[in-house]
Amino acid sequence: MHVELRFTPGTGVHHDLSAVRQDGGCLWVAGDESAAVERLTWRDGAYQDHRSFRLADLVDLPAGPDEEADIEGLARADGWLWAVGSHSLKRRRVKPGQSGEKARRRLATVLREENRFTLVRLPLVERDGLPEPVRRDGDRTAAILSGPGRTLTDLVADDPHLAPFLDMPGKDNGFDVEGIAVLGSRVLVGLRGPVLRGWAVILEIRPEPDPRDPTRMRLGRLGEHRYRTYFLDLDGLGIRDLCPIGDELLVLAGPTMVPDGPFRVLRWRPGDDFGPPPPLVAELPAHRGADRPEGIARLSDGRLLVVYDTPSPARLTPEGVYADIVQV
């Protein structure tokens, strides 16, 4: 079963959806080629009435408004909307038809784009019956975690498991964030990479407002440290998204690098570390070169909505794209 997501013509967001979260009768979605969050509203059997909110209008992005943020995870909790960038380096692609020295130069070029290295928390208010992110709502302020010494990669710079992968591009099994979930005071971040001898990684962090500047966040302490790592046996797959279900998480698992592979939804209890493989909830169909599951959201009736990057022609509609509805 599927449902249509309709977008403003010409925006192109539906070609690279990377995150989704339900919010009452609305969906929050994001694409990994922009620096914005998108709101769709349920009406007449489809999610439509697309509205885009630029992150640069809400927080001060480190590289300005025009560089993509590669948003790979969204979370909605306690009146806040969270968005996290991939925190990954990017290796340039070899374009179709390229060969020789030009192709070699592109493949040797690794880029760091600072807007990718961000975590954002936005206050939500209700306007005309719909949720909307704002810069300030009373004593609540939109805030960003970014800049030298403050990013997630800075946090794990001395980690014995993760530090060796920080200089590797995300699609080469380097450090690559692809999911966020908020459970009470716990903020959990899923890593597509690295996968270590088959073990995927989740980070637990405690972002908090910076008392010197409410528009910025800092990382609070978790006991003696500022983060925890959890290792999950996902049979060699990385984490592509996280979705709360009660006090547990649904984990969307898929290949950590570019090649096609299986995509699965599993159920994990936060805190379980080096345990048996999480129980399987659903196996998602894999399609060569297209329809890669990138985001999951739990609907109010308990079913899952799945959005895809690189949609196949059969998934595209005149106004948008189809997402799948999965019974779990």
Burial of 283-299, coded b for 16+ CB within 10 Å and e otherwise, reads: ebebbeeebbbbbbbbe
Terminal CA-CA length for the chain? 13
pLDDT tens track for 75-132? 999 999 999 999 999 998 888 877 788 889 999 999 999 999 999 999 999 999 999 9
What is this structure's pTM? Answer: 0.95
How confident is the model at residue 270, as a pLDDT? 93
- Find the mean pLDDT for residues 178-197: 96
Band (pLDDT 50/70/90 cuts) for residue 328 is confident
Instruction: Please check the confidence at residue 259 and state whether its pLDDT lies above 80.
Output: no
Looking at per-residue pLDDT, the higher value among 14 and 160 belongs to: 160
pLDDT tens, 146-166?
999 999 999 999 999 999 999
Task: State yes or no: pLDDT of 286 exceeds 80.
Answer: no
